Structure 1
């Protein structure tokens, strides 16, 4: 058996190819948010599964040819009468040496009451009475399950970012968990990208469009890039830009952001925005951040360039 842990300290358990995590706990304790973070880690999440179906579901997953390697089953008191079999199912799994981990999500009574007040939802254990009564009934019913928990996380004082860190620390593998960074060049005349987190307007930089020999070449062409880069205003801007990128990206990662879209716009999305977006992309690569580069409107200017790169 795994050592029982409080507040998400990880055990030295050897990770199997198939990993089964059962998530349970108090209504309003943070199960939904925890499962969202586990989905981000690549877990297949099944919500509100009656306990009696757990053994059969596990068997199906193990015979899925490796397509389902990490599974989260959410089991709680919403199962109503089915929930009474939960402890017996767990005992059967222990007896049959079925490996699993159980995460119990909890919070203090005042915090749970406040959360229910904010959402205006009924407590599943007290649909027609006071929330406090439902909490008391649920705690009593969950006591035997809580005693079997592998991990217990109390979210009473946790921010979402703190909960995410705990989930990643316990259930993450370190693979594919970095923030996805997309650097996008675009032309304002074609509209701003709706999914951008940060928009840089570089229309103040010298425009190669007015140089006949460069008009139909993109900002990725060395001749055009050298033209834009030679100006003092460009050099000063890049100094400020590098400092901002170097500062902001670690802050976003620390905050738990899973995706960052940096959009760089000029008039047509062909010269200046392409040059600056490529500069940001290269800067991120030099710092070791995985990033993608896309020139959204380059083809609209009838220029045949590579529109996507990865590092």
Structure 2
């Protein structure tokens, strides 16, 4: 029996699980939405025993299936013991974004039961706490487009990977909007001079060359960037050796427009030169 690569797509209703399912289908997974949890072992064994074995499977499992969290972990434990490679991908978004998405789609939240969408979202978060804690990959979709999501998943699950086994995600953010909850490492850039106080630079972002030139004129900028590169050159291989598949590195400034964006891009370029798969997301660059 050849082991199956099984990806469980789960998370908050409205966070993009169906889109994630389609993305994985596009890169070669056999995908099923809302398979009842008790049927998972039988389905996986059928995939391995057929004449044309299905090697890569993605299943959307969520609160539509009723009480499923504890049985799901029992089942995944059995499948792992049988040698199958199991990963949990958890899709999330802020409550505000989820409420807006339900309002725009005019669909009820599956747990609302005649109450508000927010009430259903709060109840769902409580149910999914353990899944969030145990997830192998957490994707925060509040500011992602469908194309961003597809690119992220493609980098995470594409078969033809370079030598590096770990996928890196770099996120720039603004502290005034809160820390990215999925960050493994967080670095502060607020001690660097802020372009926000220069009238000609304020409308620009860290993607513009003028911002990079302004930041790098600060005496601390180059040493800080070099030390970040040295630290990541040291830490990333250790995370690989530990068996981690993903590492999320967040850089923050006050608003998420200038300093964090520039440094995230610089680090991404360095890490790509080192042979890593790198996804870059500027979470707050479009915020006022």
Residue in structure 1 matched with residue 90 of structure 2 by the alignment: 104
2:12/2:93 contact within 8 Å kept: yes
Q: 2:127 aligns with which of 116, 141, 144?
A: 141
1:154 aligned onto 2:160:
no
Residue in structure 2 matched with residue 40 of structure 1 by the alignment: 26
Distance 2:70 2:4 in 1: 27
Change (3 A) 1:162 1:82: closer
Pairwise CA distance, 1:148: 1.5
- Give the TM-score, by structure 2 length: 0.52
Q: Deviation per CA, 1:24-47, whole angstroms, max 9, x where unpaired?
A: 111011101111111111211111
Between 44-53 and 94-103, the greater mean CA deviation after superposition: 94-103
2:89/2:135 contact within 8 Å kept: yes
1:122 aligned onto 2:108:
yes
Residue in structure 2 matched with residue 75 of structure 1 by the alignment: 61
1:87/1:144 contact within 8 Å kept: no
Residue in structure 1 matched with residue 11 of structure 2 by the alignment: 25
Residue segments in structure 2 that go unaligned for 5+ positions in a row? 162-288
Pairwise CA distance, 1:92: 3.4
- Give the TM-score, by structure 1 length: 0.48
Pairwise CA distance, 1:97: 4.3
Distance 1:146 1:94 in 2: 19
1:48/1:78 contact within 8 Å kept: yes
Pairwise CA distance, 1:146: 1.4
1:106/1:154 contact within 8 Å kept: yes
Residue in structure 1 matched with residue 47 of structure 2 by the alignment: 61
1:51/1:82 contact within 8 Å kept: yes
Residue segments in structure 1 that go unaligned for 5+ positions in a row? 1-15, 176-311
SS of 1:81's equivalent in the other structure is: coil
Residue in structure 2 matched with residue 88 of structure 1 by the alignment: 74
Q: Deviation per CA, 1:155-214, whole angstroms, max 9, x where unpaired?
A: 011111111110100112249xxxxxxxxxxxxxxxxxxxxxxxxxxxxxxxxxxxxxxx
1:125/1:134 contact within 8 Å kept: yes
Distance 1:128 1:25 in 2: 22
User: How many equivalent residue pairs?
Assistant: 160
Between 133-142 and 88-97, the greater mean CA deviation after superposition: 88-97
Change (3 A) 1:166 1:81: same
Distance 1:91 1:144 in 2: 15
Change (3 A) 1:103 1:157: same
SS of 1:128's equivalent in the other structure is: coil
1:170 aligned onto 2:156:
yes
Distance 1:139 1:50 in 2: 20
SS of 2:66's equivalent in the other structure is: helix
Pairwise CA distance, 1:81: 3.4
Distance 1:160 1:118 in 2: 16
Q: Deviation per CA, 1:71-98, whole angstroms, max 9, x where unpaired?
A: 1111100001355522332333345543
